[in-house]
Amino acid sequence: MSSSLQGANATSNGAMALLQKFAALNNHIEEIRQQQNSVLREIDSVQQQLVDVGEDREKMCEKTDEAGKSLIQLEQRTKDALDSQLQVEKGHSEALLTNQVCARRLEAARQDTLESQQAFLERTRNFRHSCRRLQLRAQHMGIQHASLRAWIAAKGETISGTDLVGDQRHQTYGSRYRNSKFDIRDPDSWGLEVVQGDEELHELFLKYESKKSDLDLAQKNREIARIAWQEQLTNADTRRDRRTRLEEQLRRIEGDNDALESQMRELEWQTARVRETATVPELLK
C-alpha cells in the first residue's frame, strides 16, 4: 500500500515537474515571439528610413545636377565677361594709340603754323623796312604831304617828276586815301586793284593770301583734331565706365559661383552622410 502511495507521489511529482517545464518553455517561447516582433518592427523602421533616404538622395542628386548646370552657366558668363573685358581693353589701347597719333599731328600742325607765322612776320618786317626806305626817298624828293598809298592805288596814270613839282594832285590822292577804308597795316583790305601797280607788293600780297589759306587750313585741321581728341576722350570715359560695370558684374558672378560651390560641398557632405546611413541594413544582416 505504501509502495502504491509512493508511486503515486512520484508520478504526481513528475507531472508537476513536467507542467513547470512546459510553463517555462511557453514563457520562453513568448519572450522569443516578443523579441521577434520587436526585431520586425525595427526592420520595418529601418526599411522606411531607407526609403526616405532614397527619396532624399534623389532630391539631393537633382539639386546637385541643377547646381552643376548653374555652375556651367556661371562659368560661361564669366568667360563672356572676360572676353568683353579683353575687347574693352583692346579698344582702349586703340583709342590711346589714336589719341597719341592725333596729338602728334596736332603738334606738327601747331609747329607748322608757328613757323609759318614767324616766316610771315619776318617778311612783313622786311616789307615795312622797305616801305620806310621808300617813304624816306619820297620825302627827299619833296613828297611830304601825300600818302604812298595814293601812288600804290594809281591806275593808268603816268606821273612824272615834273608833275610832282608843278602839280599838287598828290595832296588830293593822299587826303582821299586817308579818308578811305584802305589800311596798309591790314593786308585784308588790300585788293588787286591796289597792288597790281607794284610787282613786289603784288607778289607779297599773293604770298600773304597763300599763307593765310594755309593758316586757315591748319586751324581747321587743328579744330578737327581737337574735336577728334575730345571724342576719343569721351569714348575712353565710356569704355572705362563699361569696364567698371563689367568688373562689378564679374565680382557678383564670382560671389554667386563661390556660394554655389559652398552649396555643392554641403550637398556632397550630405550625400556622404546618406551613403554612410545606407550601410546600416547591411550591418543588420
Q: What is the CATH number of the domain that holds 155?
A: 1.10.287
Task: Answer yes or no: do 173 and 267 share one domain.
Answer: yes
Question: Is 56 a domain residue?
Answer: no
Q: What's CA 95's distance to the chain center, in Å?
A: 11
- Residue 153: closest CA among 124, 117, 190, 120: 190
Task: Answer yes or no: do 258 and 160 share one domain.
Answer: yes
Task: Answer yes or no: do 238 and 99 share one domain.
Answer: yes
Task: Answer yes or no: do 32 and 169 share one domain.
Answer: no
- Residue 126: closest CA among 212, 207, 188, 183: 207
Question: Is 107 a domain residue?
Answer: yes
Q: Max alpha carbon distance in the chain (Å)? A: 211
Question: Is 62 a domain residue?
Answer: no
Question: Is 95 a domain residue?
Answer: yes
Q: What's CA 182's distance to the chain center, in Å?
A: 58
Query: According to the model, what pLDDT value does residue 204 have?
Result: 72
Question: Is 63 a domain residue?
Answer: no
Task: Answer yes or no: do 136 and 265 share one domain.
Answer: yes
Task: Answer yes or no: do 89 and 223 share one domain.
Answer: yes
Query: According to the model, what pLDDT value does residue 171 have?
Result: 44
Query: According to the model, what pLDDT value does residue 142 have?
Result: 57
Q: Report residue 32 as a C-alpha cell.
A: 522569443
Instruction: Write out the residue range of the structural domain in which residue 74 sits.
Output: 68-284
Query: According to the model, what pLDDT value does residue 22 have?
Result: 81
Entry pTM: 0.30
Query: According to the model, what pLDDT value does residue 147 have?
Result: 46
How confident is the model over 105-127, as pLDDT tens digits?
888 888 888 888 788 878 877 87
Total domains, the chain: 2
- Regions of the chain with pLDDT less than 70: 1-10, 137-201, 278-285
Task: Answer yes or no: do 14 and 95 share one domain.
Answer: no
Query: According to the model, what pLDDT value does residue 140 have?
Result: 62
Task: Answer yes or no: do 12 and 74 share one domain.
Answer: no
Task: Answer yes or no: do 163 and 200 share one domain.
Answer: yes
Task: Answer yes or no: do 108 and 144 share one domain.
Answer: yes
Cα separation of 283 and 129, whole Å?
121
**Over the chain, what is the mean pLDDT?**
72
Query: According to the model, what pLDDT value does residue 90 have?
Result: 82
